[in-house]
Structure 1
Amino acid sequence: MNQNKPTSKLISDFWKGKTSEELFERAKKVSPGGVHSPVRSFRSVGGRPYFLLLQKGLR
């Protein structure tokens, strides 16, 4: 199990939306709408998808 934790700068940038926005811009260059799924609905409702650093509790 990897015990490395993200830096506080990365977490701070993530919560500001900076990291997700940058990743979304990169994803749009290689994938239609920047996503693979019904998440494309973000276009119709506004906003942007979030990229998560870590997820626990689901398999």
Structure 2
Amino acid sequence: MLLVKTLLTESPEAAAEVIKKGGLAAFPTETVYGLGANVFDKKAVANIFTAKNRPADNPL
């Protein structure tokens, strides 16, 4: 289970701090929202799969 904390900000620095601490950041694109994480943090990447209910064998 993931702990979700909502932080509404337009600050890229705030999003970077969340990602540095192993968290996920949601960001808008032109059509959908994306999820960002530290690619070198295996648990953070696993949390993206969990958040999206995506099987681990289905690449991002």
TM above 0.5, yes or no, is no
Please identify which structure carries the higher strand content: 2
TM class by smaller structure: 0.3 to 0.5
TM-score, scaled relative to structure 2:
0.34
Please identify which structure carries the higher helix content: 1
